[in-house]
Amino acid sequence: MQILDFIQSLIPNLPCLLRTETGPVLSIVSLPFNPLRLACLIVWIYLCLYLVQCFQFSPLVPQKYRPAAYIISLFAGPILLLILLIADTLKKSSQSKTGIFKILKQQLQNTFANMRSRRAERRRDDSTIRLLDSSGRSIDEIYGHSGKKRKDSHILDLTEQLIADALDRRASDILIDPEDEATYTVRLRIDGVLRTVKKLKTDTSKAIVNSIKAVSGMDISEKRRPQDGAFIAKRAGTTASFRVASAGVLSGEKLSIRLLNQEACTFTLADVGLTKKQRSIIKSAIKKPSGMVLLCGPTGSGKTTTMYAMLNEIDRFTRNVITVEDPIESMLPETSQIEINPKADITFAKTLRSILRQDPDVICIGEIRDEETAEIALRASQTGHLVLATIHCDSNATALVRLLDLGVSPLLLSSGLSLLVSQRLLRRLCNHCKKPAQLSQNRIRKFERKGIDYTNIFDAAGCRHCDKTGYLGRTAVCDLMVITDQLKVDIAGNKAFIAEARNEVGKKDSSNLSRQALKKVISGITTLEELKRVVG
Ligand SMILES: [Zn+2]
């Protein structure tokens, strides 16, 4: 009876409710829109969204039919849904003898609760991180999830949290070291600077170290001998690769975890931070069919990223590009990348010799460490190959001396080299919190004497965007040395030139880099403190 009463009460009112021209709704209040139609439209949109969400998560609808299901749901779905809802409500009401509105209210409550739990599930999926070994086994599988006690799962949670935290904070390295007998410190290298983020008890730390060693394919029982391994972390559709090295130290075991910069292949020379003039010099050097471009700088000075940026300038469809790296940081399309592995006797020198037989146009060498590699690379650069390589040293002059000291002949060096690039990375100021610099009178006088505009110099502050450091990201400063004909003659036989270069070894003379860095300071990209920290 109740249902019939309800429908009957609706039907007589319905025509006048929906009548737009002469009906009571619009005749009483004259609004520029029909509120009833607007309400219907909003309900319609909500129902459409709900249906689309249902299809998105429904395992019954195959992926390829989902777009069609969305379109159908937008036109016919809400009507179908309303009919089903009314029919279901009527059925339940007649069965349980409960009022229609009560059942309707209950059903709506259930629907909203469902939607909320789905959303929460999706959020959890996005934030969950999974650590996998090189064969794709998860850390839980390695540990045998079911048979272990609760303590293990707590440690695995802590390990995953540690890695997720490092990824969130854009860390390039994670260092876990014993501080003393009772505590371990966890430090992150963010934008090239180490920060202590956690102190943990020795027992917990040892368990975390073991779980990382296990997922990296290392021997857990071996605590003294240095070992290395690798693992990957998957989160919300992204993958990060890590390299792990362990070593026994005085009060325990030390672990260094390095995050490979997989975005390195997306950088261009402009992204790296080079000036227009520097970019054009580099571009003309890498356009040539032969010669060697040598990148110099200490560890973590961004040499590899600049090398990838150079490779991005090269047309890799028309030129056969082969790289030899240790390790491969980033996958570069249309390139043959080879990773060296000294344990399996795959060294830089041996790999270089073999790839020379594969008719390469461009050879990229991760790092020149010995005479053999240097010689093969320089000879290749003279015989119709463009060679890009990096060497670990402070400046361009030091690189020349280093190569001569390795045993390379001055003649070979002078004829092979075409460009030297030495590089440093400066932290960029966070744009959300940088504040005008407080300069001393002395410093202002110095700037005025040199005619430098100091009005755009900023200091670091710190906010939630930059993890309270005041800096966010980095930019490169470079010093270029083009090997001109005169320089070739000097390198090949001028003893005074070589002696002068030798004098520079060990000195912190990086006046060119300082000049480049100062330009970045006065244009508000970095700070005077950062200039002092990096280039002195
Ligand atoms: Zn900030």
Model confidence pLDDT, tens digit, residues 62-88: 777 778 877 777 777 667 777 777 887
* Number of other CB atoms surrounding residue 446 within 10 Å: 13
Residue 111, token pair as written in the block? 């629907």
Least confident of 35-39, 151-155, 269-273, 402-406: 151-155
Residue 443 is given by DSSP the state H
Among 182, 174, 326, which residue's Cα sits nearest to residue 255? 174
424 DSSP β-pair partners: 477
Task: Name, of 28-42, 97-111, 147-161, 476-490, the range with top average pLDDT.
Answer: 476-490
Spacing, Cα 454 to ligand 1 middle (Å): 22
Q: Which comes out higher in pLDDT, residue 219 or 507? A: 219
| Distance from the first to the final alpha carbon of the chain | 90
Please state whether 394 falls in left (phi above 0), alpha (psi between -120 and 50) or beta.
alpha
Spacing, Cα 28 to ligand 1 middle (Å): 56
Spacing, Cα 460 to ligand 1 middle (Å): 8
Q: Give Rg (Cα) of the chain.
A: 33
Angle 375-379-383 (CA atoms, 0-180°, nearest 5)? Answer: 170
Spacing, Cα 467 to ligand 1 middle (Å): 7
Domains of the chain: 2-126 (no CATH), 131-259 (3.30.450.90), 264-426+475-506 (3.40.50.300)
Q: Are 228 and 247 in contact (CB under 8 A)?
A: no
Residue 430 is given by DSSP the state P
Q: What is the mean pLDDT of the chain?
A: 85
Q: Calculate mean pLDDT across residues 5-21.
A: 47
Spacing, Cα 282 to ligand 1 middle (Å): 33
d(CA 277, CA 285): 13
The rounded percent of the chain whose pLDDT value lies above 70 is: 88
Spacing, Cα 167 to ligand 1 middle (Å): 18
Spacing, Cα 195 to ligand 1 middle (Å): 16
Spacing, Cα 240 to ligand 1 middle (Å): 25
Q: Calculate mean pLDDT across residues 272-290.
A: 95
Spacing, Cα 472 to ligand 1 middle (Å): 7
The model's pTM: 0.73
Look at residue 14 and tell me whether its pLDDT is greater than 70.
no
Residue 365, token pair as written in the block? 């060498």
d(CA 114, CA 118): 6
Spacing, Cα 468 to ligand 1 middle (Å): 6
Residue 346 is given by DSSP the state B
Give residue 389's pLDDT: 97
Q: Calculate mean pLDDT across residues 397-410.
A: 92
Spacing, Cα 304 to ligand 1 middle (Å): 27
Spacing, Cα 429 to ligand 1 middle (Å): 8
Spacing, Cα 191 to ligand 1 middle (Å): 14
Spacing, Cα 463 to ligand 1 middle (Å): 4
Spacing, Cα 466 to ligand 1 middle (Å): 4
Distance of CA 17 to the CA centre of its chain: 58
Spacing, Cα 120 to ligand 1 middle (Å): 30
Look at residue 182 and tell me whether its pLDDT is greater than 70.
yes
Look at residue 38 and tell me whether its pLDDT is greater than 90.
no
Give residue 340's pLDDT: 93
